[in-house]
Amino acid sequence: MNRRKGFTLIELLIVILILGALAAIAIPRITSSADTAKKNACATNIDLLNSQIELYAARNDGSYPGDLGTLTSDPNYFPDGAPACPYVGAPAYTLGTNDRVSTTGHTH
């Protein structure tokens, strides 16, 4: 009996096709998950900035900071520095006239 060990070309092609089909299903789900995570991180940063603005006003007799730099450069509020939007090339967060933070220049 002549027994050869190994796989035939057909078996290898079938395995490669199955792996390709699984990758075609999985890759779009992974990239959409990453985009959702970035959106959630940006929304969390905005909520954090807004809550720190309210804390600043409570500590300063109702006076809000004139700009975000005043707040984000203070280590009492942001010891690790200002939060940044996770989108590459995204503009910085801005303080609106209503003393609320938003992003400008792009939407998520």
What is the structure's pLDDT at 50?
94
**Three-state SS at 99:** coil
Contact 104, 60 (CB under 8 A): no
Q: 72 lies in a domain?
A: yes
Q: 108 lies in a domain?
A: no
What is the structure's pLDDT at 108?
55
Q: 31 lies in a domain?
A: no
Domain residues for the domain of 52 are: 38-103
In the chain, DSSP assigns E strands to 93-95, 101-103
d(CA 47, CA 100): 9
Count of domains observed in the chain: 1
Q: What is the pTM of this model?
A: 0.68
What is the structure's pLDDT at 29?
84
What is the structure's pLDDT at 7?
85
Q: 17 lies in a domain?
A: no
Q: 12 lies in a domain?
A: no
What is the structure's pLDDT at 70?
87
pLDDT < 50 regions, the chain: none
Contact 94, 103 (CB under 8 A): yes
d(CA 58, CA 77): 13
